[in-house]
Amino acid sequence: MTGDHQVLIKDKLLGRGLPILVQTMYDSAIPHDNTEIDTLIRRIGKLNSMGCDIIRFSYPHKEDHDAFTTLCARSPIPVVADIHFDYKMALDAIECGAHKIRINPGNIGAEWKVKEVVESAKDHGIAIRIGLNSGSLPKGNDPTEMLMSNTALEYLNWFEGWGFTNTVVSLKASDGDVTMKANRLFAKQSDYPLHLGVTEAGSVVSAITRSTWALGQLLSEGIGNTIRISITGDIETEVQAGVELLRTLGLRKKGIRIVSCPRCGRHSFDSQGFLASVEQDLLTIDKDLTVAIMGCQVNGPGEAKAADLAITGIGNSIFLYEKGELVRKVTASEAKSALLEAIEHAE
């Protein structure tokens, strides 16, 4: 079980009993053009409204210094710099105003280089994530999960020896079972917060399936403080999947819970097309509501009774329900605005 050690990342506090945070990682190079930076800031704002709490950026080039400084200052959520190999890039990212850096001390180089990074982080009051993946570990004969946990504990001893404790740990593998074993081993020996993820999990279906299997079990055991559902795809989908996992486990309450039918030959209302048109709006609404979108008369009325709000199509007519009561009959072109208006006024 995770203990009482707490870590501060800008204005986000991690630790036992505190909210589980959702992360994602920006999927492109850091833009330098001011217009593109403005667009990125708006995108981060949308991710935040969907439930994203922290965003990570690769920081491989010193040419990104000015743009990254702007991003760190303007981002509505904490910004993490992901560093590999070059300790000078870690020092530069800290100077830019990163709220946390992610490093693997083993690929930074000599211990004195790691110490310089840690001391700079301490001077600037930021956090560090010790990020270990199964493919980048010191050589050893122990099982991978044991090697991962023991290596993280060794690095934590370094950090504590230098007077630094604002540290998060991540132990990731592409194999869900190895990921679970490593995090369970670590959690038995340390109360430092853990960032959970299954690395290189694949495309949407495989990534969400593998990640939900592993992360769901760990979170149910009280292990883990931040999560990322790593997907070869849109980062918005990563955030949506992470938030939905937390909601399913009862670890996050607010947000629209969408119930929709998969559609079959009985459908007389294009529920799939309607959901696609309205889903992005629903994902950014911070209300604890269940919304049902149903396509025919078989399940529609019944689901409407169980939902806070429901849209059901029967023939050429579309019906809006509130708490199981029919309140409006609308056309297909009016359905989206009618639903969003009802959500806006819902208690």
What is the three-class DSSP state of 62? helix
- Does the structure show a pLDDT above 60 at 1? no
- Predicted TM-score (pTM) of the model is 0.90
In the chain the domains, ranked by start, together with CATH numbers, are: 7-248 (3.20.20.20), 256-345 (3.30.413.10)
Are the C-beta atoms of residues 290 and 323 closer than 8 Å to each other?
A: no
User: Does residue 2 carry a pLDDT above 50?
Assistant: no
Position 299 confidence tier, pLDDT thresholds 50, 70, 90: low
Q: Find where tokens 């790593």 sit.
A: 230
Q: How much of the chain exceeds pLDDT 70, in percent?
A: 94
Q: How many CB atoms lie within 10 A of CB 329?
A: 12
302 pLDDT tier (thresholds 50, 70, 90) = low
* Contact call for residues 103 and 90 (beta carbons, < 8 A): yes
Residue 185: other Cβ atoms inside 10 A: 19
- pLDDT of res. 3: 53
Rg (CA), the chain: 23
The pLDDT of residue 304 is above 70: no
Give residue 286's pLDDT: 87
Residue 131 has pLDDT above 60, yes or no: yes
Percent of the chain with pLDDT over 90: 69
Please tell me which residue, 47 or 142, carries the higher pLDDT value: 47
Q: Which of 62-71, 130-139, 325-334 has the lowest mean pLDDT?
A: 130-139
Question: Is the pLDDT score of 120 beyond 60?
Answer: yes
- Strands 317-322 vs 309-314: parallel, antiparallel or unpaired: antiparallel
Q: How confident is the model at residue 267 (pLDDT cuts 50, 70, 90)?
A: low
Across the range 318-328, mean pLDDT stands at: 88
Give residue-wise pLDDT tens across range 26-36.
999 999 999 99
324 pLDDT more than 60: yes
CA 119 to CA 224: how far, in whole Å?
26
Burial of 80 (0-12, 13-18, 19+ CB in 10 A): buried
**In this predicted structure, what is the pLDDT of residue 316?**
72
Tell me what the mean pLDDT of segment 90-110 comes to: 94
Residues whose CB is less than 8 angstroms from the CB of residue 244 and which lie 6 or more positions away in sequence, other chains included: none
pLDDT in tens, 236-245: 999 999 999 9
> Any idea which of 89-103, 123-137, 159-173, 285-299 has the lowest mean pLDDT?
285-299
Q: Name the least confident of 57-66, 166-175, 221-230, 300-309.
A: 300-309
pLDDT for position 296: 67
Instruction: Please name the amino acid found at residue 247.
Output: R
Q: What is the mean pLDDT of the chain?
A: 91
Type of residue numbered 33 = D
| Amino acid 305: pLDDT | 74
Closest residue by Cα to residue 272 from 255, 290, 296, 295:
295
Query: What is the average per-residue pLDDT within 293-304?
Result: 67
- Fill in the DSSP letter of residue 20: P
User: In this structure, are residues 170 and 197 in contact, taking their beta carbons and an 8 Å threshold?
Assistant: yes
The confidence band for 102, taking pLDDT boundaries of 50, 70 and 90, is very high
pLDDT interval class at 146 (50, 70, 90) = very high
| Listed range (74-88, 98-112, 167-181, 326-340) with the worst mean pLDDT | 326-340
